[in-house]
Amino acid sequence: MATLEKLARLSEPSIQGAQAVREIAQEAAKVVAKCRADHRSICETHPQLAFLLAENRAQLKLCRRLESDLAQHLADLESSAKLKSQQADALRREMAMVIELLKSREVVERELRSPRLAAGGGAAGRKHTLYDHIDQEAVDALDVRVRECLVELHEIASADSAQCSEALARIGAIAVPAAEDISFTWEVVEATGRLVDESQGTVDEIAQDLQSMDRHCDQLRDTIRDLEAEGGMLSMDDYSVLLRDTGEIPGIVDELREAAAGVRQRADEIHVRRQQYAAFLAENKLRAAAVAQIAEASQRYVDAVAESQARYAELADAADGALEDMWGLVTWYRNFHSAYDGLIAEVHRRRQHHRELLGTVEDMRARLDALHVEEVQRRAAFVDRDGPYLPSDLCPFIQDPPPRFAVEEAGDVARFASVQSQETHYSKLASMAGEASSPARPGAPGA
């Protein structure tokens, strides 16, 4: 009877311990099931999160660069038309200076005057200047082209600047959530899986301990039933084993409680990770939506100004071309002014050359004339002396006059007023020849 009482005292803590372990096992199993659910959620979220994070980084970087480009484009719009106006103003000042330079340079040489002015094309009483030889209408036409281009450029720049500022304001009003800095590599997912495996291993160990405790309780119950039915005796060794096993139950329960606490701790870590993944996925979805709004606002502006910007580029090219033509005229007019100095020097040089050449020609003509007069006189003396005695058919050519040679001029010598005219020279030469020659006497050969 005492043995049964001892066994009864062992039965109650054993049953209580088994119940405690069973509750621990059930709770740990539920926790592990939740861990697995959280792990599956992390595994499902990871690819989406990885894609969104990589895509958002690239797209947000692109959008920020696009926003920066829009700001730069706005600055360029506001400055480019202004810059071209400044260039046009500077060019007009240069053109006005060079035109005044041409107007102040009078053409004083008579033979250099414009044929148009000589024909009555200039205003009466107005002095002749280099300005009379340029095409003012062409300059005015270029200036009109530049002004028309610049006016339209300013209109387009003003309208597009307003739209660009509006687009930048819309983009600035779009809130882009900041990304939380957490690690979400696949190694983290694998680490989470290892935590689930560790928790599952702990649950399996708790289940094994629960089976051992259930066997202990069954053994204790069977022993009591056998003793009550058969009235036998329990050996001290068997009792000692039962007593030892029962005494170990509180320690086992404490150990299992600690193991279950580890399972809950890992479960909390996995759950926190799942919440982080879910929150980070939601944030990146919001970031993706914000990026899409930025891209849409930028694209809307680009579409709105596509036609006007094409026209702007066309006008800018036209203005540049007209400005380049005007700069070419400025350069040409300056070279024209400089070339006039060379022209004056060249005219004076040619006059000097003409005077020197004319002196040489006059000397040559005088020598030729003298030789001709001398030959005429010598032939006349021969005819007077021997002609009456020579038959006319003996040497017919002996009665021919001597040949005459003349130095002729090519070119418009009359352009140089200081040069003696050809007509005056020939008149003088004719009078010299008339004085040197005498008429043939009647009956002489050739008379």
Q: What is the DSSP secondary-structure string of 309-343?
A: HHHHHHHHHHHHHHHHHHHHHHHHHHHHHHHHHHH
Residues 6 or more apart whose Cβ sits within 8 Å of residue 207: 25
What's the mean pLDDT in 33-40? 89
What's the mean pLDDT in 426-445? 39
Same domain, residue pair 182 and 236 = yes
Query: Contact 28/260 with Cβ under 8 angstroms?
Result: yes
Same domain, residue pair 307 and 185 = yes
Same domain, residue pair 381 and 307 = no
Domain membership flag for residue 45 = yes
Same domain, residue pair 298 and 311 = yes
Same domain, residue pair 309 and 361 = no
* Least-confidence region, from 58-62, 371-375, 436-440: 436-440
Boundaries of domain holding 406: 352-387+395-436
Query: Per residue in 155-186, is it b (16+ CB within 10 Å) or e — as a string?
Result: ebbeebbebbbebbebbeebebeeeeeeebee
Domain membership flag for residue 444 = no
> Taking all residues of the chain, what is their mean pLDDT, rounded to a whole number?
79
Query: Contact 330/96 with Cβ under 8 angstroms?
Result: no
* Least-confidence region, from 162-171, 248-257, 368-377, 383-392: 248-257
Tally of structural domains, the chain: 2
Amino acid at 271: H
> What CA–CA distance (Å, rounded) separates 135 from 142?
11
Same domain, residue pair 255 and 400 = no
The pLDDT value given to residue 229: 63
CA atoms within 13 A on the CB side of 325: 14
The pLDDT value given to residue 417: 45
Domain membership flag for residue 409 = yes
Same domain, residue pair 230 and 247 = yes
Q: Does residue 148 or residue 447 have the better pLDDT?
A: 148
- Under the banding of pLDDT at 50, 70 and 90, the label for residue 435 is very low
Among 6, 13, 19, 8, smallest CA distance to 214 is for 19
- Give alpha helix (H) positions in 104-185: 115-118, 136-173
pLDDT value at 306 more than 70: yes
In degrees, to the nearest 5, what angle opens at C-alpha 154 toward C-alphas 150 and 156? 115
pLDDT value at 431 more than 50: no
Domain ends where: 347, 373, 407?
347
Residue 308: strand pairing partners: none
Distances (CA, A) of 377 to 380, 427, 438, 444: 5, 21, 8, 16
What's the mean pLDDT in 106-131? 64
Question: What's the pTM?
Answer: 0.55
Collapsing DSSP to helix, strand or coil, 106 comes out as: strand
Domain membership flag for residue 421 = yes
* Least-confidence region, from 111-125, 130-144, 171-185: 111-125
- Under the banding of pLDDT at 50, 70 and 90, the label for residue 426 is very low
Among 310, 262, 305, smallest CA distance to 163 is for 305
Angle subtended by helix axes 136-173 and 236-386, to nearest 10: 180
> What CA–CA distance (Å, rounded) separates 245 from 279?
49
* Least-confidence region, from 199-203, 217-221, 382-386, 441-445: 441-445
Phi/psi at 129 (5° precision): -125, 175
Same domain, residue pair 248 and 173 = yes
In degrees, to the nearest 5, what angle opens at C-alpha 83 toward C-alphas 87 and 298? 150
Query: Contact 281/52 with Cβ under 8 angstroms?
Result: yes
Instruction: Count the helix, strand and coil residues of the chain and give each as a percent rounded to the nearest 5.
Output: 85, 0, 15
Question: How many C-beta atoms surround the C-beta of residue 274 within 10 A?
Answer: 20
> What CA–CA distance (Å, rounded) separates 358 from 407?
11
Domain membership flag for residue 441 = no
What's the mean pLDDT in 260-265? 86
Domain membership flag for residue 294 = yes
The two three-digit tokens of residue 241, written as one number: 């084993």
Domain membership flag for residue 231 = yes
Same domain, residue pair 360 and 298 = no
What's the mean pLDDT in 342-361? 88
**pLDDT tens-digit series, residues 71-112:** 888 888 878 888 889 999 999 999 999 999 999 988 876 656
The pLDDT value given to residue 413: 62
- Under the banding of pLDDT at 50, 70 and 90, the label for residue 434 is very low
The pLDDT value given to residue 343: 87
Same domain, residue pair 141 and 202 = yes
**pLDDT tens-digit series, residues 210-235:** 788 778 777 767 676 666 666 656 55
Same domain, residue pair 259 and 377 = no
Same domain, residue pair 295 and 404 = no
For the four alpha carbons of 212, 218, 220 and 226, in that order, the dihedral sign comes to negative
- Give alpha helix (H) positions in 104-135: 115-118
Domain membership flag for residue 270 = yes
Query: Contact 217/18 with Cβ under 8 angstroms?
Result: yes
> What CA–CA distance (Å, rounded) separates 260 from 314?
78
Question: How many C-beta atoms surround the C-beta of residue 111 within 10 A?
Answer: 11
Residue 447 DSSP label: -
Q: Does residue 236 or residue 53 have the better pLDDT?
A: 53
